């Protein structure tokens, strides 16, 4: 399988990464090189094989229901590039 | 498969009958102290970003650890919906970008939910019952909240809700009218509240509905559906369905076709409108969350939870009908809230259960509704109302006086009804002599009416009224009746 | 004592315990060495004040005889470990200015045991790379020099674009270079596809990737959650064993961390390996394998035979599929793990005309080209219509890879011996610029271990014709790091400890 330029743009948008027009052909080549590299997997017989879910067999640990974590609003927004009154702010979202 | 609607459910369009098909996704907030994957508080409200852990804010390197209670609550709910409990389920990531989704993905259960198929029995009217299938129930994280109207240029993001556990309960498309849909949500809410797994508070957003609506000609395959997002009251659910069905019928009858899309109900304008921002083709790229192992437990775990379940509304209703001889409607009304049912039972035990039901449903619920009060805030306690029912039953007061007494007890909180009756001379007159005197007096003063009554025995009612008036309502109505009949010779 | 930075971690520990050396003295010596070696670019942040304060506290504890197992030992920390109040960016621009309010579990255990933090180490951006060239902070120069080059030439290159100098490997390039250049006694590293073992092999140091779940991932900036694992790089097998004991252990904050006791790994050194069954997988004898790697491998076999181990030829038939499958699974997880870098809550933000524009500009500017490429391929393999063909198939292949190992272990194999890398270190700017896959092939021997969640150790075993270090890899049973330490110790002793380069920088 290989990707065309429209797919490159679609994927870039899905991943929220801006791409310039000049970059697209270059990215297309790189992605296609990677896809060519993984192409050999299509020849592997995986009939009846379960996909890996957990590489080490263990039971998932459950947490007790208790309030154990309170970072505090100033810590939560402490690294924010922009914040106001302990809210994160972003360019206005129109619904 | 979804059953066809009864003819009475069809709605008329310009070109003939239409059938509405409704399915619902209910998001119910799990009742728990802390969030699904973090130890932050789930308490409603709070200062912005205060109920947020570093996990909820998706700080680099933070990892989810599942809350045991949320698992139990989901299983309890599944049991309450008579549903398949899956001993192994998995968590997936649903990937999309949105400012109130800090991780860039929501942890949900896409492929293997914790709960499979179940059913909800819904009373649409006192005489009409439908069964709505539950497709699945899964656990997922709530998102944060974006405020869009605080500034002309910015949206404000508060992550207090981020990571709170939700149960998404997906119904089958088994509903065919706004009333059915409303009754379904109402019943589901009742079940969740009985189980204690969700507080059902729609105003605070603890229960929200996404409503899928489509229309079709009777007997035809399903039409294209539209999803109305985040409807937050039962009344709005009904209104949204009606306007959306009308909109779709209008489009089709005008030769148009329905676009599958997400819409928003605007109660102010009474219309649904397309959510343009959500229209962009979604590709959620679901895959198993590698930070979480499969969720596994054994049947013993389920059985232990099953043993701890309370009696659920359907069982309670059946028992009320069987043990107290109540009609289905009355039993249904009483079991709507667990607190009401408990209140009723406290009165009904050892008393006239039917009379108790009448008092609770007609007088107490009526009055509570009028005042906008919850049963738990009732000024009249079960013991007080029980005493009133006793006073009537033993003939101490009449039904009419009882209503006055109820009013006094309501106003003067904490008063003992029995003492009030004594203090205020509200006792029914059972002294035959006194009643007889009053009867004689009325008969003597109305010879013409006496004549009429002999020809027309229904005139008796007029005499009863006069005697009651004379005695200030305290005369025992049975004694008045008996005496009048004897004296009038009817 | 002349130069205390030449001590091994174990030697320094003993000297500290016997009060022949103070933690402050040891720390100061390292801080000076770091300062002189800035041009190598191994450290991107130095924390001298913190280091000296920690050393002072260690000296007080040591004086009272209360020191922990790592009391007073100066370490370097890979930039992907969250260190409270200290620059933590996984060497990415997108985490610009990020100073976490928390400390990773692994580093907090090191501090609990008395270690001293010297600073944060360079790495490939988000651990994506095999040469440390994808770092936002620029490449790291290996202390090893290409054949025929002298210090004067190298210093000139260091001052310029570093072209022609050798890469230390990656992604833990800063860790490996700092250990090899005596800029710390040991370093934390992390390994998703070979990021501990490959740089260790390139620099003549020892690195172990423990079993998945052995160390907590809490507070490590995630690359690919099902593959990432913490581990140490140090100058000897013993030093790695000492560090791993402190780094490992159950963490209730990581649902994938194992609740099992941590052995005293150091005790496994010197244990006899007589009768141990060592598997030699034929699939690792890849086409075009160089004669020097072949020789390294047979030398390794000879060392173990001489120590009484039994050599068994085995087959791991799905070996060849591991690298391509890895380049589906790892980017897929990364594309999701890196979605949180959106310019909202921390790090870089580039303003945009609307929210989507802000996201796209921020992520374009914040991620380097390798990271963007992997996010895009990961996004693609998870997208509708391709998920089953790529992601699900790769995870099925992962099951097959793991099964290969299980079958080998079921035959009684105790550990598997392979080369660690297909070649010795290459030059900065030499690989991967035209074809990203060329760089990926570096991990061909190491990536299988991550795919199966197994422990693997790289230990120096000889030099190339150009005089550069070459490493062997031992792959163990799940949670049997002890056997790996025992066997690696035998190789280390038989091969003789690598003589690390003298400071030319």
**pLDDT value for B401:** 85
Contact residues on chain C for B65, CB-CB shorter than 8 A: 252-255
- The reply to whether residue C344 touches residue B99, judged by beta carbons under 8 angstroms, is yes
Average pLDDT, whole number, for chain A? 94
Supply the CATH number for residue B439's domain.
Answer: 1.10.10.410
- Positions in chain C whose pLDDT score sits under 70: 1
Q: Hey, what are C307's tokens?
A: 């120590």
Task: Tell me the backbone φ, ψ of residue C120, rounded to 5 degrees.
Answer: -105, 140
Whether residues B418 and B459 fall in one domain: no
How far is CA A74 from each of CA A79, B33, B34, B42, C95, rounded to the nearest angstrom?
A: 9, 22, 20, 19, 19
- The reply to whether residue A16 touches residue C360, judged by beta carbons under 8 angstroms, is yes
Enzyme catalytic residues of C: 78, 171, 195
Contact residues on chain B for C342, CB-CB shorter than 8 A: 97, 99, 104
Whether residues B194 and B91 fall in one domain: yes
Compute the distance between CA of residue B401 and CA of residue C336 in angstroms, rounded to an integer.
71
Pairing of strands B92-95, B128-141: unpaired
pLDDT tens, residue by residue, A19-40: 999 999 999 999 999 999 999 9
Query: Which residue(s) pair with C419 in the sheet?
Result: C472
Q: Hey, what are B263's tokens?
A: 């819409």
Do residues B111 and B289 make contact, with C-beta atoms less than 8 angstroms apart?
A: no
Q: Is the ipTM of this complex over 0.95?
A: yes
Q: What is chain B's pLDDT, residue by residue, as a tens digit (490 residues)? A: 445 567 778 888 888 999 999 999 999 999 999 999 999 999 998 999 999 999 999 999 999 999 999 999 999 999 999 999 999 999 999 999 999 999 999 999 999 999 999 999 999 988 899 999 999 999 999 999 999 988 899 999 999 999 999 999 999 999 999 999 999 999 999 999 999 999 999 999 999 999 999 999 998 999 999 999 999 999 999 999 999 999 999 999 999 999 999 999 999 999 999 986 554 568 999 999 999 999 999 999 999 999 999 999 999 999 999 999 999 999 999 999 999 999 999 999 999 999 999 999 999 999 999 999 999 999 999 999 999 999 988 888 888 888 989 999 999 888 899 888 888 877 777 677 778 888 888 888 888 888 888 888 888 888 888 888 888 777 777 778 888 888 887 7
Of chain A, the end-to-end C-alpha distance in Å amounts to: 37
**pLDDT value for B4:** 59
* Angle, vertex CA C353, rays to CA C349 and CA C357, nearest 5: 60
Strand order across the B287-288 sheet: B105-108, B92-95, B287-288
Residue ranges of chain B whose CB lies within 8 Å of a chain C CB: 54, 57-66, 93, 95, 97, 99, 102-105, 155, 157, 283, 285-287, 290-293
Contact residues on chain A for C344, CB-CB shorter than 8 A: 80-81, 88, 90
Contact residues on chain A for B277, CB-CB shorter than 8 A: 93-95
Mutation target for B interface from C99, C336, C348, C358: give the one with most B CBs within 10 A: C336
Whether residues B42 and B189 fall in one domain: yes
Query: Which residue(s) pair with B138 in the sheet?
Result: B168
Of A1, A31, A80, the CB nearest to C376: A31
Whether residues B299 and B337 fall in one domain: no
Q: Is it the case that residue A94 has pLDDT exceeding 80?
A: no
Of A14, A18, A40, the CB nearest to C364: A18
Do residues B216 and B21 make contact, with C-beta atoms less than 8 angstroms apart?
A: yes
Contact residues on chain A for B99, CB-CB shorter than 8 A: 88, 90, 93
Chain C residue with Cα closest to B107: C336
How far is CA B406 from each of CA B381, B393, B473, C152, rounded to the nearest angstrom?
A: 11, 15, 15, 104
- The reply to whether residue B65 touches residue C252, judged by beta carbons under 8 angstroms, is yes
Of chain C, the end-to-end C-alpha distance in Å amounts to: 22
Whether residues B97 and B227 fall in one domain: yes
Give me the residues of C, 94-133, that contact A with CB < 8 A.
97-101
If one counts the domains in chain B, the total is 3
Task: Tell me the backbone φ, ψ of residue C103, rounded to 5 degrees.
Answer: -120, 135
Q: Is position B449 within any domain?
A: yes
- The reply to whether residue C333 touches residue B64, judged by beta carbons under 8 angstroms, is no
Whether residues B359 and B446 fall in one domain: no
Chain A residue with Cα closest to C392: A51
Instruction: Answer yes or no: pTM beyond 0.90.
Output: yes
pLDDT tens, residue by residue, B68-103: 999 999 999 999 999 999 999 999 999 999 999 999
Whether residues B412 and B438 fall in one domain: no
Of B54, B58, B291, the CB nearest to C102: B54
Touching check for A18 and chain B: CB below 8 Å? Answer: no
The whole-angstrom distance between B388's CA and the closest CA on chain A is: 45
User: DSSP assignment, residue B175?
Assistant: B
Domains of chain C with CATH codes: 7-283+294-316+407-495 (3.90.1300.10)
Touching check for C64 and chain B: CB below 8 Å? Answer: no
Mutation target for B interface from A14, A67, A74, A79: give the one with most B CBs within 10 A: A67
Which helix (H) or strand (E) covers residue C460, if one does? strand C456-463
Whether residues B287 and B329 fall in one domain: no
Q: Is position B8 within any domain?
A: no
Q: Hey, what are B85's tokens?
A: 């409990």
Of C363, C373, C399, the CB nearest to A49: C399
Which of B304, B325, B357 finishes a domain? B304
Whether residues B120 and B180 fall in one domain: yes
The CA-based dihedral angle spanning residues B215, B217, B222, B223, taken in that order and rounded to the nearest 10 degrees: -50
Helix ranges (H only) for B351-431 are 353-358, 366-371, 382-393, 399-411, 417-423
**pLDDT value for B279:** 45
The whole-angstrom distance between A65's CA and the closest CA on chain B is: 6
Give me the residues of A, 73-92, that contact B with CB < 8 A.
73, 75-77, 84-92
Q: Is position B390 within any domain?
A: yes
The whole-angstrom distance between C480's CA and the closest CA on chain A is: 13
Mutation target for A interface from B97, B157, B197, B280: give the one with most A CBs within 10 A: B157
Q: How many CA atoms lie within 13 A of C485 on its CB side?
A: 26
Whether residues B414 and B355 fall in one domain: yes
- The reply to whether residue C345 touches residue A3, judged by beta carbons under 8 angstroms, is no
Give me the residues of C, 259-318, that contact A with CB < 8 A.
259, 318
Range of the domain at B239: 16-304
Chain B residue with Cα closest to C334: B290
Closest CA to B52 of B140, B164, B154, B130: B164
Closest CA to C117 of C188, C209, C205, C189: C188
Touching check for C402 and chain A: CB below 8 Å? Answer: yes
Q: Which chains, if any, share at least 3 CB pairs under 8 A with chain B? A: A, C
Compute the distance between CA of residue C74 and CA of residue C296 in angstroms, rounded to an integer.
33
Whether residues B98 and B230 fall in one domain: yes
Q: Is position B180 within any domain?
A: yes
Compute the distance between CA of residue B393 and CA of residue A41 in angstroms, rounded to an integer.
84
Compute the distance between CA of residue B53 and CA of residue B41 in angstroms, rounded to an integer.
9
**pLDDT value for B147:** 93
Touching check for C8 and chain A: CB below 8 Å? Answer: no
- The reply to whether residue A79 touches residue C357, judged by beta carbons under 8 angstroms, is no
How many CB contacts within 8 angstroms connect chain A with chain B? 131
User: DSSP assignment, residue B128?
Assistant: E
- The reply to whether residue B61 touches residue C220, judged by beta carbons under 8 angstroms, is yes
Which of B304, B330, B354 finishes a domain? B304
Contact residues on chain C for B104, CB-CB shorter than 8 A: 336, 338-340, 342
Q: Compute how many other C-beta atoms are within 10 angstroms of the C-beta atom of residue C445.
A: 30
Query: Which residue(s) pair with B446 in the sheet?
Result: none
Touching check for A64 and chain B: CB below 8 Å? Answer: yes
- The reply to whether residue A60 touches residue C255, judged by beta carbons under 8 angstroms, is yes
Q: Is position B5 within any domain?
A: no
Q: Is position B234 within any domain?
A: yes
Chain B residue with Cα closest to C390: B287
Which of B397, B423, B449 finishes a domain? B423
Q: Is position B194 within any domain?
A: yes
How far is CA C296 from each of CA C282, C290, C303, C419, C423, rounded to the nearest angstrom?
A: 15, 10, 11, 8, 11
Q: Is position B148 within any domain?
A: yes
Whether residues B274 and B322 fall in one domain: no
């Amino acid at each position: 399988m290989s990707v065309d330029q429209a797919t490159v743009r679609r994927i870039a948008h899905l991943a929220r990464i801006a791409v310039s027009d000049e970059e697209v052909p270059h990215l297309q080549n790189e992605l296609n090189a990677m896809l060519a590299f993984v192409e050999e997997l299509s020849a592997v017989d995986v009939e009846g094989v379960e996909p890996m879910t957990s590489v080490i067999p263990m039971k998932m640990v459950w947490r007790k229901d208790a309030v154990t974590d309170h970072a505090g609003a100033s810590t939560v927004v402490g690294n924010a590039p922009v914040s106001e009154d302990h809210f994160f702010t972003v360019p206005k979202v129109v619904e | 498969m979804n059953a066809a609607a009864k003819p009475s459910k069809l709605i008329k369009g310009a070109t003939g009958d239409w059938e509405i098909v409704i399915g619902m996704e209910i998001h119910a907030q799990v009742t728990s102290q802390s969030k699904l994957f973090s130890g932050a508080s789930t308490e409603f409200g709070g200062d912005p970003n205060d109920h947020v852990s570093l996990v909820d804010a998706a700080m680099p390197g933070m990892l989810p650890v599942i809350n045991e209670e949320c698992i139990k609550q989901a299983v309890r709910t599944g049991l309450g919906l008579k549903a398949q409990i899956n001993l192994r389920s998995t968590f997936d990531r649903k990937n999309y970008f949105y400012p109130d989704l800090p991780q860039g993905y929501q942890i949900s259960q896409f492929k293997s939910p914790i709960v499979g198929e179940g059913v909800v029995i819904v009373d649409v009217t006192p005489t009409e019952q439908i069964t709505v299938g539950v497709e699945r129930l899964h656990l997922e994280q709530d998102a944060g909240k974006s405020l869009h109207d605080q500034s002309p240029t910015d949206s404000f993001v508060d992550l207090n809700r981020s990571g709170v556990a939700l149960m998404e309960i997906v119904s089958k498309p088994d509903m065919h009218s706004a009333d059915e849909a409303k009754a379904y949500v109402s019943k589901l809410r009742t079940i969740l509240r009985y189980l204690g797994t969700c507080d059902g508070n729609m105003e605070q957003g603890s229960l929200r509905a996404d409503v899928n609506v489509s229309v079709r000609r009777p007997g035809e395959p399903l039409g294209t559906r539209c999803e109305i997002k985040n409807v937050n009251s039962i009344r709005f659910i009904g209104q949204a369905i009606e306007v959306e069905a009308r909109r779709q019928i209008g489009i089709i009858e005008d030769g148009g076709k329905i676009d599958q899309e997400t819409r928003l109900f605007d109660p102010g304008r009474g219309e649904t409108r397309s959510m343009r921002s959500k229209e962009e083709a979604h590709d959620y790229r679901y895959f198993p969350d590698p930070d979480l192992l499969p969720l596994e437990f054994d049947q013993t775990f389920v059985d232990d939870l099953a043993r701890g379940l309370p009696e659920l509304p359907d069982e309670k209703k059946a028992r009320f009908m069987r043990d107290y001889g109540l009609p289905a409607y009355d039993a249904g009304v009483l079991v709507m809230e667990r607190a009401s049912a408990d209140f009723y039972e406290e009165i009904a035990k050892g008393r006239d259960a039917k009379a108790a039901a009448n008092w609770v449903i007609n007088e107490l619920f009526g009055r509570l509704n009028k005042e906008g009060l919850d049963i738990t805030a009732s000024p009249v306690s079960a013991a007080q109302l029980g005493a009133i029912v006793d006073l009537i039953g033993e003939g101490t007061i009449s039904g009419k006086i009882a209503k006055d007494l109820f009013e006094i007890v309501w106003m003067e909180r904490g008063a003992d009804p029995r003492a009030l009756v004594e203090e205020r001379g509200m006792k029914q007159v059972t002294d035959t002599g006194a009643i007889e005197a009053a009867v004689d007096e009325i008969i003597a003063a109305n010879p013409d009416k006496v004549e009429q009554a002999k020809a027309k025995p229904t005139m008796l009612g007029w005499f009863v009224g006069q005697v009651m008036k004379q005695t200030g309502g305290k005369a025992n109505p049975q004694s008045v009746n008996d005496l009048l009949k004897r004296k009038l010779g009817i | 004592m002349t130069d205390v930075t030449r001590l091994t971690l174990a030697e320094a520990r003993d000297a500290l315990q016997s009060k022949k050396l103070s933690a402050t003295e040891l720390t100061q010596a390292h801080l000076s060495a770091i300062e002189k070696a800035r041009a190598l670019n191994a450290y991107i942040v130095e924390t001298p004040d913190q280091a000296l304060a920690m050393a002072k506290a260690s000296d007080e504890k040591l004086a009272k005889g209360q020191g922990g197992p790592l009391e007073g030992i100066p370490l370097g920390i890979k930039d992907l470990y969250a260190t409270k109040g200290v620059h933590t960016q996984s060497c990415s621009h997108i985490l610009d200015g990020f100073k976490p309010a928390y400390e990773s579990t692994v580093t907090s255990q090191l501090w609990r045991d008395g270690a001293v933090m010297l600073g944060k180490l360079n790495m490939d951006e988000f651990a994506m790379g095999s040469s440390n060239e994808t770092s936002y902070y620029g490449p790291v120069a290996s202390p090893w020099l290409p054949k025929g080059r002298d210090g004067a030439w190298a210093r000139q290159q260091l001052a310029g674009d570093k072209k022609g100098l050798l890469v230390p490997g990656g992604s833990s390039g800063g860790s490996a270079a700092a250990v090899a250049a005596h800029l710390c006694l040991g370093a934390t590293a992390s390994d998703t596809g070979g990021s501990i073992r490959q740089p260790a092999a390139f620099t003549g140091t020892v690195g172990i990737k423990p079993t998945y779940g052995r160390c907590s991932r809490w507070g490590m900036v995630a690359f690919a959650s099902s593959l990432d694992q913490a581990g140490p790089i140090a100058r000897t097998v013993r030093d790695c064993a000492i560090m791993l004991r402190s780094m490992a252990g159950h963490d209730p904050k990581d649902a994938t961390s194992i609740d099992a006791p941590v052995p005293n790994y150091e005790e496994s050194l010197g244990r006899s390996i007589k009768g141990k069954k060592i598997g030699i997988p034929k699939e690792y004898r890849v086409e075009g394998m160089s004669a020097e790697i072949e020789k390294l491998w047979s030398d390794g076999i000879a060392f173990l035979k001489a120590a009484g181990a039994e050599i068994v030829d085995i087959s791991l038939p799905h070996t060849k599929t591991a690298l391509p499958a890895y380049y589906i699974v790892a980017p897929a997880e990364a594309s999701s793990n890196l979605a949180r870098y959106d310019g909202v809550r921390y790090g870089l933000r580039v303003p945009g005309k609307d929210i989507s524009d802000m996201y796209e500009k921020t992520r374009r500017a914040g991620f380097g080209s390798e990271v963007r490429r992997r996010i895009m391929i990961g996004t693609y393999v998870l997208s509708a219509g391709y998920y089953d063909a790529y992601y699900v198939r790769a995870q099925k292949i992962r099951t097959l890879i793991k099964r290969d190992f299980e079958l080998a272990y079921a035959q009684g194999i105790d550990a598997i011996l392979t080369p660690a890398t297909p070649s010795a270190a290459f030059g900065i700017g030499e690989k991967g610029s035209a074809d990203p896959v060329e760089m990926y092939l570096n991990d061909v021997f190491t990536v299988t271990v991550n795919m199966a969640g197994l422990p693997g150790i790289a230990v120096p075993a000889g030099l190339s014709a150009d005089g550069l270090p070459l490493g062997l890899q031992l792959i163990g049973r799940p949670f049997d790091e002890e056997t790996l330490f025992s066997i690696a110790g035998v190789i280390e002793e038989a091969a003789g400890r690598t003589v690390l380069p003298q400071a030319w920088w």
